Amino acid sequence: MFKKFVLIALVAALSLAALPISSVSAAGLGDETTPPEKKEMTGERLEKLWERVLNVNERVGKRFERADKVTARIQALIDKANEKGMDTAAVQAALDSFSTSIAEARPIYENAQSVIAAHEGFDEDGKVVDAKKAAATVKSLRASLKEIRTLTSENGKALREAIKAFREANPRSERAEAEKPAFPSH
């Protein structure tokens, strides 16, 4: 009997301990306090943003370099498939759209490179010398990179989907699998 009483008391104590003691209430409709205003960017934060934007810009540059090689390779595969009598219209249309979007985005990227070269508001080491100019520079670069992404991302996705649909509609033949060299198994 005593063990049951202690067990019940212990469960009750643990249950009460799990409940919150303080209460929370929301501000009423008549609350006149205003949210804090945006603080001006600090030099340290601008320097971190500058570094981040430069890293994104570098990745975008590498994608532009690869885009020419990739589009040439896809075009060669489309040409081979056309020779075999396969329907490549959807892939060709997607590739053409992607190539057009890359061509439209390239001048924006080149303009971003001139903004980086000028690096207004920043010194050669990426340290802030004029916060307002630095903030404008970062904002301009971010807008350029966002525009590039907007121009190219949908067409890139459409190209991947067209290639995927083509592969599903035209699986590799068993003959192509048989031509692969057989490696001895151990």
Cα–Cα distance list, 98 to 90, 117, 147, 161, 166 (Å)? 12, 28, 15, 12, 16
What pLDDT, on the 0 to 100 scale, is given for residue 113? 94
31-70: pLDDT as tens digits: 556 655 555 667 889 899 999 999 999 999 999 999 989 9
Is residue 175 scored above 50 in pLDDT? no
37: Cβ–Cβ under 8 A, 6 or more apart, which residues?
Answer: none
2-24: pLDDT as tens digits: 666 555 665 555 555 555 555 55
CB 53 within 8 A of CB 141: yes
pLDDT interval class at 126 (50, 70, 90):
confident
What mean pLDDT, rounded, does the chain reach?
A: 81
CB atoms within 10 A of CB 151: 18
pTM of the model: 0.66
What pLDDT, on the 0 to 100 scale, is given for residue 89? 93
What pLDDT, on the 0 to 100 scale, is given for residue 179? 47
54: Cβ–Cβ under 8 A, 6 or more apart, which residues?
Answer: 116, 126
Burial class of 63 by CB neighbour count within 10 A (0 to 12, 13 to 18, 19+) = middle
